[in-house]
Amino acid sequence: MSIQPVPTSSRTTRTELAELNALESESIHIIREVIAEFDRPALLFSGGKDSIVMLHLAIKAVRPAILPFPIVHIDTGHNFPEAIEYRDRTVEKLGIQLVVGSVQEALDTGRIAQSTDPGGSRNRLQTPVLLDVIRKNKFGAVFGGARRDEERARAKERVYSFRDEFGQWDPKNQRPEVWNLYNGFINSGQHIRVFPLSNWTELDIWRYIAAQKLEIPSIYFAHEREVFERDGMYMAVSPFLQPEPHETAQTMSVRFRTVGDMTSTAAVPSKAATIEEVVAEIGATRTSERGQSRADDRASEAAMEDRKREGYF
């Protein structure tokens, strides 16, 4: 007997839907627990697919009331314009409050120092800016769209992830999280990061976006773009990232699998122009989301764990 990777079409749609409904309800439950137990929650919103799904779930959790907390964007200044445009349109359409933490501003005022990371990635610079925003707004709980299937340090993290004054995660000292009984008591100065999408996989997210007909930024679909190859990944040519003399730019049909910093998010060659085509491609792929498209995680074996210990999501 040999086992095939999950084909997207072979399981009945009914089972798939039941699975998605169960995940959806679990996430809504978590979001409601946090709203009930914390004074000042906020939701991290990047304009990426996970945060779009999370926001959609938060709105469902409180309906017909309006979202009782703001969304937060940590703006690296190296964003995809499509993601920013999507963010602003969403805020306007839903009438929700947006809090922006600007990496550029923190650099300009000398609050943080320039990145020394390869390619000038501002990924790590998000952490101090995020912590500033949390402190200034006294957020007690911040929702993040991370999933446990993304990365092996994330696979270890609780739904309620406790952070000290410095935002640090202590992986060896996590609270037991039994049944669905989340312990929301924190000491002063602490806050929690909450991951309502912990049990979703990348494929679940895509299927959900398709099932709910959610609008997502255009860069998730195949489009012609000027890219160049670096370390086996296709990076977009942008004002923030140019090919070196030995690298050649070419125009090809690509889409993005994640939306992060333009300097560290790679494109995937693709012709998938509709959500159904994207779902089919993701179902058949043999590379992980982060391995294929996140330069920041390739830095070392424990890159994510180290960043989390510093206060990263």
Partner 1 sequence: MELLRIATAGSVDDGKSTLIGRLLFDSKAIEDDVLSAAESVSRRQSNEYLNLALLTDGLRAEREQGITIDVAYRYFGTAQRKFILADTPGHVQYTRNMVTGASTADVALIIVDARNGVVEQSLRHAVIAALLGIRHVVVCINKMDLVDFSEEVFATIKRQFETFLDDLKVDCAHFVPVSALIGDNVVEPSERMPWYTDGPLLRHLEQLEIGRTPADDALRLPVQYVIRPLKGEYHDYRGYAGSIRSGVVRVGQQIGILPQGKTSRITAIETPDGEADEAAWPTAVTVRIKDDIDISRGDLICAADGVPRVSKSFDATVCWMSESKDLTQGSMLRIKHTTRTGRAMITALHSRIDVATLSAETGCNALKLNEIGRVSIKTSLPIVYDDYTVNRVTGSFILIDEATNETVAAGMIGKPAFGNFDSED
Residue ranges in contact with partner 1 by CB under 8 A: 1-7, 10-11, 15, 18-19, 21-22, 24-26, 28-29, 32-33, 35-36, 57, 60-66, 148-149, 152-153, 155-156, 171-172, 174-181, 183, 185-187, 198-199, 201, 285-288, 291-292, 301-302, 305
Joined together, the tokens standing for residue 3 give 């086992």
User: Cβ closer to partner 1: 1 or 109?
Assistant: 1
CA gap 26, 199 in Å, rounded? 9
User: Cβ closer to partner 1: 180 or 242?
Assistant: 180
Distance from the first to the final alpha carbon of the chain? 41
CA gap 152, 73 in Å, rounded? 25
CA gap 220, 255 in Å, rounded? 5
CA gap 77, 25 in Å, rounded? 35
Q: How far is the CB of 145 from partner 1 (least distance, A)?
A: 16
Nearest Cα residue to 76 out of 48, 50, 42, 40: 48
Q: What are phi and psi of 282, to 5 degrees?
A: -65, -40
Q: How far is the CB of 150 from partner 1 (least distance, A)?
A: 10
Q: How far is the CB of 231 from partner 1 (least distance, A)?
A: 12
User: Cβ closer to partner 1: 212 or 253?
Assistant: 212
- Quick check: helix, strand or coil at residue 140? coil
Tell me which residue has tokens 């179902």.
Answer: 283
Strand-strand pairing, 71-75 and 98-102: parallel
User: Cβ closer to partner 1: 71 or 192?
Assistant: 192
User: Cβ closer to partner 1: 64 or 245?
Assistant: 64
- Quick check: helix, strand or coil at residue 310? coil
Q: How far is the CB of 132 from partner 1 (least distance, A)?
A: 25
Q: How far is the CB of 52 from partner 1 (least distance, A)?
A: 16
User: Cβ closer to partner 1: 85 or 229?
Assistant: 229
Alpha-carbon dihedral angle through residues 147, 45, 268, 235, given to the nearest 10 degrees: -120
Joined together, the tokens standing for residue 292 give 């294929």
User: Cβ closer to partner 1: 61 or 83?
Assistant: 61
Q: How far is the CB of 3 from partner 1 (least distance, A)?
A: 5
Instruction: Label residue 84 exposed, middle or buried (CB < 10 Å: 0-12, 13-18, 19+).
Output: middle
Q: How far is the CB of 155 from partner 1 (least distance, A)?
A: 4
